[in-house]
Amino acid sequence: MIHNQLAFLFSPDGALAKHIPNFRSRPQQVEMAQAIADAISANRQLITEAGTGTGKTFAYLVPALLAGGKVVISTGTKNLQDQLYQRDLPTVRDALKVPVSTALLKGRANYLCHHHLERAQCDGRFTTREDARHLARIVKFADITQTGDKSEASNVPETAPVWMQVTSTRDNCLGQECPHHKDCFVLKARKEAMRADVVIVNHHLFFADLMLRDEGLAELLPACNTVIFDEAHQLPETASLFFGESISTSQLTELARDTRLEAANSARDFTALPAATDALDKAARDLRLAFKQNEGRMNASMMENWPGWTDAMLALEDRLQQLNRLLQQQAERSEELENCWQRGQALAQKIMEWQDRQQIGKVRWLEIFHHSIQLNTTPLSIAEIFADQIKGRPRAWIFTSATLSVKQDFSHYQSEMGLPDAQTACWESPFNYSEQALLYVPRNMPDPNHPDYTEAVVKAALPLIEASNGRAFLLFTSLRAMQRAHDILMAQFERNQIEFPLMLQGEGSRNELLDRFRQHGNAILLGSQSFWEGVDVRGEALSLVVIDKLPFASPDDPVLAARLAQMTRQGRNAFMEYQLPRTIINLKQGAGRLIRDETDRGVLMICDPRLISKSYGKRIWQSLPPFRRTRELPEAVNFFE
């Protein structure tokens, strides 16, 4: 019965076609919706891969809304979350005429906090004049906003540093002791989510809540009938992040800042407290300075012989203990000082736990940022932890993405996520790749480790960039290669008087750059990781995608290295079981930028010679959509004519 109903709803005469302009019925979309409806009615786990253009959002929304009950949908990013809530969900709800209520729930850092806004106004100390201007705009925003969601404050960038001062964290939220508890935007969002039939969250929020029980989902899930993960290929990375432990020097400097502010309000006569906060702040910054200009990831075992590390770490622990002793003496003077004392104790405990070298099944590592260091402990496998988390009350778990399988084999994903019994299903894209697109692998490319490899990539790509009249994405596996290619192209364009607009990741927000790219119509955009997925440019503005290398994760990454070593010790083939499948899934994401519509045409150029020379290369290109393939430059150039 439900299969026939879904087939009609998605048909050219159905409710979706009548309500949505340019809606096209696709058999893959109908089949996917039917499979999801079956999984929901039977409370099963289902993993689905649907190629670009299948319309997977509608394919899961329609059966989810028709099934009734409470549905939680988790997306990969906040941008997708907003798009789903503001556009896709209302469209389907109106087309089906089903009376479901909806809510959007984000992490607390996305909501304005009345208490911290007040404190920021009273403090009046800002790093830049721009921060002061942004605060004045946020104060006006606070008077008119119904949600407190910072994405609605269009005249203040979401990345503005001042947001950290006017939003709360799990650490510094006063909870029921807050004087603005009744007006709290976070609590308001949670209450709406509790009442709603369909709640849109994102993966970070979902896993933060599973582990911390702090973001409002802990109350939602028990009542939930269906959980749907869109962009589910991102889950292993996100789950690893939250199933581990981390502590950052930023948390210590924030503790110092909050203590200093509250001491000025509640313990002005106790001069030892500000001095202790300054000492902790300095110790946290000194720990970062132990690494000079280094940025990146390092295994904790490397730290034993790192110059200055041991002394800086001991000094940090000592300054934190001193501050905690003083806070204990003053904690009863205000709720904020009590909160700071509790935070200080928790941070000291975490630092001590991180230094324990006997943690079985986990890897300890550091991530060094420009201004801070994060100490991390990550499980080598998340499969058992995730499987335990989703046990319990019967409900449907749906995992969907355009990239989850290797040649339609889901075993890698099932193994990584602990879903051995999940049903799997795969639908090819409805696009005609053999007519619409060409896969070009140039001849005579050097080894990807050759020092002049990026020069060779640009040289090989230039004839196609000219033939396609710009309209190109150049995607790189490292920021260094991206910057080098940009420098080479700028010099070449100047020398040859080529006038295509040249754009570089980091010159603005991703959305700004994409808007400019579309408006130019003949631009070239160079990007790295953040442009490999979640980017949708339809039409003639994008006709060429160049990928410099196969996106193998760096073997120097401490988490990857530890996981590979463990698999090798178990007698498994770590490359074939882990590295290669992850690379294929990442490559499919990058390749998916090219053809976004039935009328799109273009060339995908993968420069890496390993695609041809290595035995595993065939497995890689066979996992891509069915492009027509060539190694001949004239054929690739002629495609644009």
What is the percent of the chain where pLDDT is above 70? 98
How far from chain centre, in Å, is Cα 490? 31
- Would the pLDDT of 214 be above 70? no
Q: Which residues pair with 475 in a beta bridge?
A: 527, 547
CATH of domain 245-379: 1.10.275
What is the percent of the chain where pLDDT is above 90? 67
Going by C-alpha positions, the residue among 461, 406, 437 that lies closest to residue 604 is 437
- Would the pLDDT of 213 be above 70? no
Contacts with 161 (C-beta within 8 Å, 6 or more apart), sequence order: 127, 131
The Cα 95–Cα 58 span in angstroms is 11
The token duo for 559 is 């988490």
* 395, 228 contact by CB (below 8 A): no
* 461, 607 contact by CB (below 8 A): yes
Q: What would the pLDDT profile of 390-424 be if each residue is shown by its tens digit?
A: 887 789 999 999 999 998 999 999 999 999 999 99
Place of tokens 């790295």: 528
Q: What are phi and psi of 454, to 5 degrees?
A: -65, -35
* 521, 469 contact by CB (below 8 A): no
Q: In the chain, what is the straight-line distance between the N-terminal and C-terminal CA atoms, in Å?
A: 49
Q: What are phi and psi of 128, to 5 degrees?
A: -135, 165
Q: What would the pLDDT profile of 9-43 be if each residue is shown by its tens digit?
A: 999 999 999 999 888 889 999 999 999 999 999 99
Structural domain boundaries in the chain: 26-107+187-241+381-427, 112-167, 245-379, 433-639
* 558, 484 contact by CB (below 8 A): no
**Residue 357, Cβ density class (10 Å: 0-12 exposed, 13-18 middle, ≥19 buried):** exposed
CATH of domain 433-639: 3.40.50.300
Q: Which residues pair with 49 in a beta bridge?
A: 401, 426
Provide the sign of the torsion angle of the four alpha carbons 420, 425, 429, 434, taken in this order: positive
Helix or strand holding residue 364 (H, E): strand 362-368
* 64, 442 contact by CB (below 8 A): no
Give residue 304's pLDDT: 77
Amino acid at 116: H
Q: Which residues pair with 385 in a beta bridge?
A: none
Q: What would the pLDDT profile of 95-135 be if each residue is shown by its tens digit?
A: 999 999 999 998 888 999 999 898 888 876 677 788 888 88
pTM: 0.90
Task: Tell me if domain 26-107+187-241+381-427 and domain 433-639 are identical in fold.
Answer: yes
Query: Which one-letter DSSP state was computed for residue 18?
Result: H
The Cα 349–Cα 224 span in angstroms is 35
Distances (CA, A) of 211 to 78, 229, 250, 395: 20, 17, 21, 20
More confident call, 556 vs 219: 556
Task: State in words which class domain 26-107+187-241+381-427 has.
Answer: alpha beta
How far from chain centre, in Å, is Cα 367? 17
In this structure, the number of other CB atoms found within 10 A of the CB of residue 361 comes to 11
Alpha helices (H) in 113-245, listed in sequence order: 114-123, 129-144, 163-166, 185-195, 203-212, 217-220, 235-243
